[in-house]
Amino acid sequence: MFVDQVKVYVKAGDGGNGIVAFRREIYVPMGGPAGGDGGDGGDIIFEVDEGLNTLMDFRYQKHFKARRGENGMGKGMHGKNAEPLVLSVPPGTTVRDVRTGVVIADLIEHKQRAVIAKGGRGGRGNIRFATAKNPAPEIAENGEPGVERDIQIELKLIADVGLVGFPSVGKSTLLSVVSAAKPKIADYHFTTLSPNLGVVDTADQRSFVLADLPGLIEGAHEGVGLGHQFLRHVERTRVILHVIDMAGTEGRDPYQDYKTINQELEQYDPTLLERPQIIAANKMDLPEAEDQLALFKEQLEEDYPVFPISTVTKEGIRELLFAVANKLDEIPKNYQPIEEKEDRVIYRFEKEDKGFQITRDPDGAYVLLGEKIEKLFKMTDMTREESIQRFSRQLRGMGVDEALRQRGAEDGDTVRLLDYEFEFME
């Protein structure tokens, strides 16, 4: 089973809570503050495992949660940080935030890692709030919530060479002849339903990865046949190996086939045609092939090299592999990771974000919403007076009081924030 696109939900661990504690010492009625910080919540991390080539592991499990940090302890002891949750993905995995559409990570090299959701910072214990004025603060911070997000994971296989062509032209047979891969081969269309990878070793000890892709037909770029989703896997190949049934076995015209496939590639992504292309004129063992090849060469306008081969007699295969390896040697191994960077976008987003919004409930209550204000709230220990006071100062600092007043709030009006309700007071 091959899976190359999947949506999942990830939630990094919340930070542990900081605590309020005091030293108990003989002769000292009330010792100094001794509440330690909470540990950090676990990150969700993706790591490339080159042994994988499908996202199948994400097919059944769609929710991933990392553990929360341990709460702080007395005697100033820090709670333990939670271990990250590390999930393995194949090379060529792209991760996108569903809400913003932004690419979070593009993972290519073996062992490469990316933090997909950052664990929350541990809350600070009361030691950290001690000042000259308030040497024994009864205040501690709850842990910061871990980042949660819906993500779209997409795989674009990384292969050096991609086999493209109409169905039944012999792509899978070629892969089976030049590598140890054992793809399904048959004389009906769309025998290959998902990509197969094989490692090819040339006679002069060079090697490259060859991807056998499902056959393309007219309209593939719009999703006809197995189309679109597999064209995606051509994107990261450095050389396109275009296989043509030169015997026109099914009564088709080889040159017309060639044109159609290239049009599909172009319509999917025009830069695909700038990529080096090598033509494998297959089925040369069949009687019609010689004449067709001569005609094809006359019609061909592009200066792509043409290699007559037969996967049955193995004629021409050796030369074809040398040509592919030579071409690969000329091109730098540069996978061009996807360029958008999340930092840039987040920055833009935060600039516009005031940190909160005000709406009203049907009963007239004012409702505060927004990522920043909700986070501050979650990090506040609402059972302690001093924490609540600190929270009110933070809200004032963000301009919340001012904004409420502008919306018409008066003393005694109800204000809601998540599951908490308080009275507006100037």
Ligand X SMILES: Nc1nc2c(ncn2[C@@H]2O[C@H](COP(=O)(O)OP(=O)(O)OP(=O)(O)O)[C@@H](O)[C@H]2O)c(=O)[nH]1
Choosing from 126, 310, 380, 387, the residue that interacts with ligand X (CB under 6 A) is: 310
Task: State yes or no: residue 252 binds ligand X (CB under 6 A).
Answer: no
Angle at 303 between CA 326 and CA 284, to 5 degrees: 75
Choosing from 115, 181, 286, 367, the residue that interacts with ligand X (CB under 6 A) is: 286
Q: How far is the CB of 326 from ligand X (least distance, A)?
A: 23
Is 337 annotated as a binding-site member? no
- How many residues belong to the chain? 426
Stretch that binds ligand X, among 129-137, 187-195, 268-276, 335-343 (CB under 6 A): 187-195
Is 212 annotated as a binding-site member? yes
Task: State yes or no: residue 358 binds ligand X (CB under 6 A).
Answer: no
Is 207 annotated as a binding-site member? no
Question: Based on CB atoms, which residue is closest to Mg ion, 186 or 224?
Answer: 186
Choosing from 8, 73, 155, 169, the residue that interacts with ligand X (CB under 6 A) is: 169
Task: State yes or no: residue 168 binds ligand X (CB under 6 A).
Answer: yes
Task: State yes or no: residue 242 binds ligand X (CB under 6 A).
Answer: no
Task: State yes or no: residue 311 binds ligand X (CB under 6 A).
Answer: yes
Q: How far is the CB of 181 from ligand X (least distance, A)?
A: 12
Q: How far is the CB of 189 from ligand X (least distance, A)?
A: 5
Task: State yes or no: residue 170 binds ligand X (CB under 6 A).
Answer: yes
Choosing from 29, 187, 302, 351, the residue that interacts with ligand X (CB under 6 A) is: 187
Is 283 annotated as a binding-site member? yes
Backbone φ, ψ for residue 243 (5° rounding) = -95, 130
3-class secondary structure per residue, the chain: CCCCEEEEEEECCCCCCCCCCECCECCECCCCECCCCCCCCCCEEEEECCCCCCCHHHCCCCEEECCCCCCCCCCCCCCCCCCCEEEEECCCEEEEECCCCCEEEEECCCCCEEEEECCCCCCCCHHHHCCCCCCCCCCCECCCCCCEEEEEEEECCCCCEEEECCCCCCHHHHHHHHECCCCCCCCCCCCCCCCEEEEEECCCCCEEEEEECCCCCCCHHHCCCCHHHHHHHHCCCCEEEEEEECCCCCCCCHHHHHHHHHHHHHHHCHHHHHCCEEEEEECCCCCCHHHHHHHHHHHCCCCCCEEECCCCCCCCHHHHHHHHHHHHHHCCCCCCCCCCCHHHHHHHHHHHCCCCEEEECCCCCEEEECHHHHHHHHCECCCCHHHHHHHHHHHHHHCHHHHHHHCCCCCCCEEEECCEEEECCC
Task: State yes or no: residue 179 binds ligand X (CB under 6 A).
Answer: no
Stretch that binds ligand X, among 111-119, 251-259, 280-288, 394-402 (CB under 6 A): 280-288
Q: How far is the CB of 149 from ligand X (least distance, A)?
A: 37
d(CA 166, CA 227): 11
Residue 285 site contact among Mg ion, ligand X, none (CB < 5 to 8 Å, cut-off depends on kind): ligand X
Is 172 annotated as a binding-site member? yes
Residue 187 site contact among ligand X, Mg ion, none (CB < 5 to 8 Å, cut-off depends on kind): ligand X
Interacting residue ranges for Mg ion, rule: CB under 5 A: 171-172, 191-192
Task: State yes or no: residue 171 binds ligand X (CB under 6 A).
Answer: yes
Task: State yes or no: residue 186 binds ligand X (CB under 6 A).
Answer: yes
Question: What residues between 72 and 131 interact with ligand X by CB under 6 A?
Answer: none
d(CA 200, CA 325): 10
Question: What residues between 196 and 235 interact with ligand X by CB under 6 A?
Answer: 214-215
Is 192 annotated as a binding-site member? yes
Binding-site residue set for Mg(2+): 172, 192
Annotated binding site: 165-172, 190-194, 212-215, 282-285, 310-312
Binding site for ligand X (CB under 6 A): 165, 167-173, 185-187, 189-192, 214-215, 282-283, 285-286, 310-312
